[in-house]
């Protein structure tokens, strides 16, 4: 069966999530990112030259699952091993800074901390893409002493948690003995244990888990069965449940969503909405985190899977790994429940919107105006503005500010309708209505890379130029469509000057409009 849901139902499920204490066991990693412009091909060799302009570090592997759980408002404890090296020190500090308990994190002087360094290149200062990844790691299993220490700590503590997550990347921490001991301790304590397995042809170590969450390739590798259609995953999931004595198998199917297969009960396929995929890194981690909170909160598996789909879809829209929050999931569900509103922002939402776009490596373009009676001149210049970056944000003067600028007879169309029409344009990514006489406050909050104004202005005459250029942004002027303006259109409709226009959003204006 194919699972169907209404966004309002998932909003209720999201609100039902608690803030449980979740333990994550697995391979702790450090992710490093080097961002820059991919400008040219080297003269020394046929390789891309990356002019680096930004570096950052983030938690990776099981440590990223911990970070995702924190972003989703869970209390989190971590169990694993880091090396006695710089990367291990950074991971420990970042875990601590995120409020993640580290009592079960051990330092192994003979081990290097797994580090993945990604090089992200922008073409023409836009469209960031990963061009190279360099891994430094140890895959050797833990020695007996560390294994004993980890097992004892896990056996003594699992009963405290609402759920235990095993994030196995095959780097040697999740040995068969550690995994088997953890699953058995959870079974005795009545604590759900959810496993994100490594790619292997034998899932035997995960026998008896509450939930096993392989992806398509991992499930195929372990069972020898191809998943060519989403329906095939139901059969594969049933085999995993039977062979491994699982309560539930959840197979993630990338663009096809997820297959939920309980050992007893009705299986289902849960599709995900089509997204622009920038980077799949971290999608599996946020899905595991959401499922863990869902199971710990007693949420219905169907609801947990569908919320996981939403969280994973939000993650793949980003370049690199970053937290997905409940507020972002809620905003996505609200947008689905009320189509057309997802592009409408408040002034207070501009700053976090801008930060998110920059974290994704996107170039932000901003323009503003009254946009009273949207016409071909507006659409042409907005398309031209959108071509200057990745995200176009449009500021719309409120009705009150339009009256101040153009007189009491304007605007002809009310601010809500003007904003909705702009939001309907595919080239526009966000719309914000503002009351101020200038867009300065919006520019300070959003900090766009490019400020665009349509008309015959010189760049030095554009209002807000000084704000944008102060932080390094640029100003551009878009062209005009000759002979087209709101004033001329209104005059041609009324046969009068703008002084005699009756605004269409007034009661009399509505009757005038209906009369033709």
Q: Do residues 438 and 344 lie in contact, with contact meaning Cβ atoms separated by under 8 Å?
A: no
Structure tokens at 88: 């291990």
| SS3 call for 135 | strand
Structure tokens at 67: 């970070």
Closest CA to 391 of 427, 421, 359: 427
| SS3 call for 436 | coil
Q: DSSP character for 197? A: P
| SS3 call for 416 | helix
Judged by phi (left if over 0) then psi (alpha if -120 to 50, else beta), residue 26 lies in: left
- CB neighbours of residue 427 within 10 Å: 15
Catalytic residue among 31, 168, 232, 285: 285
Half-sphere CA count of 467, side-chain side, radius 13 A: 17
Report the C-alpha gap between 316 and 173 in whole angstroms: 27
285 flagged as catalytic = yes
Structure tokens at 98: 């995120």
**Cα 506 from chain centre:** 41
Report the C-alpha gap between 253 and 268 in whole angstroms: 13
Report the C-alpha gap between 19 and 162 in whole angstroms: 10
Report the C-alpha gap between 214 and 14 in whole angstroms: 24
Report the C-alpha gap between 50 and 34 in whole angstroms: 9
Cα torsion 99, 104, 107, 112: sign = negative
Sequence-distant (6+) residues with CB within 8 A of 149 are 106
- DSSP assignment of 12-26: HHHHH----EEEEEE
Would you name the residues annotated as active-site residues?
A: 285
């Amino acid at each position: 069966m194919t699972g169907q849901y209404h966004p309002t139902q998932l909003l209720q499920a999201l609100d039902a999530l608690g803030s449980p204490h979740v333990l994550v066991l697995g391979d702790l990693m450090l992710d490093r990112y080097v961002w820059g412009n991919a400008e040219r091909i080297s003269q020394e060799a046929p390789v891309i030259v990356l002019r680096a302009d930004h570096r950052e570090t983030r938690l990776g592997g099981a440590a990223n699952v911990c970070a995702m759980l924190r972003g989703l408002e869970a209390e989190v404890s971590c169990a694993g091993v880091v090396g006695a090296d710089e990367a291990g020190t950074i991971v420990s500090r970042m875990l601590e800074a995120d409020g993640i308990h580290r009592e079960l994190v051990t330092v192994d002087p003979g081990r290097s901390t797994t580090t993945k360094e990604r090089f992200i290149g922008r073409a023409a200062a836009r469209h960031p893409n990963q061009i190279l990844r360099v891994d430094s790691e140890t895959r050797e299993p833990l020695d007996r002493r560390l294994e004993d220490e980890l097992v004892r700590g896990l056996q003594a503590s699992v009963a405290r948690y609402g759920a235990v997550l095993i994030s196995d990347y095959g780097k040697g921490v999740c040995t068969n003995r550690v995994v088997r001991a953890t699953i058995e301790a959870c079974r005795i304590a009545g604590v759900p244990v959810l496993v994100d397995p490594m790619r292997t042809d034998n899932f035997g170590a995960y026998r008896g888990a509450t939930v096993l969450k392989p992806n398509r390739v991992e499930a195929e590798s372990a069972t020898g069965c191809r998943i060519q259609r989403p329906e095939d995953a139901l059969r594969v999931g049933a085999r995993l449940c039977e062979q491994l004595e699982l309560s539930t198998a959840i197979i993630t199917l990338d663009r096809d969503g997820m297959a939920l297969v309980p050992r007893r009960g009705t299986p289902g396929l849960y599709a995900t909405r089509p997204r622009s995929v920038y980077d799949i890194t971290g999608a599996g981690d946020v899905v595991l985190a959401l499922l863990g909170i869902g199971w710990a909160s007693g949420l219905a598996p169907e609801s947990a899977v569908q919320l996981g789909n939403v969280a994973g879809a939000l993650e793949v829209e980003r370049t690199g790994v970053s937290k997905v929050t409940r507020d972002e999931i809620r905003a996505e569900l609200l947008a689905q429940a009320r189509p057309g509103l997802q592009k409408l922002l408040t002034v207070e939402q501009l700053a976090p919107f801008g930060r998110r776009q920059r974290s994704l490596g996107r170039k932000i373009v901003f323009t503003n105006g009254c946009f009273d009676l949207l016409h071909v001149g507006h659409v042409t210049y907005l398309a031209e503005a959108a071509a200057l970056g990745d995200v176009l944000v449009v500021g719309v003067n409120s009705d009150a500010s339009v009256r101040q600028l153009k007189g009491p007879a304007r605007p002809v169309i009310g601010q809500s309708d003007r904003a909705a029409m702009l939001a309907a344009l595919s080239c526009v990514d966000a719309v914000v209505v503002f009351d101020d006489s200038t867009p300065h406050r919006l520019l300070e909050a959003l900090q766009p890379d490019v400020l665009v104004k349509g008309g015959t202005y010189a760049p030095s005459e554009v209002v807000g130029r000084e704000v944008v250029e102060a932080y390094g942004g640029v100003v551009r002027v878009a062209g005009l469509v000759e002979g087209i303006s709101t004033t001329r259109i209104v005059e041609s409709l009324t046969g009068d000057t703008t002084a005699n226009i009756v605004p269409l959003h007034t009661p009399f204006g509505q009757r005038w409009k209906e009369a033709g």
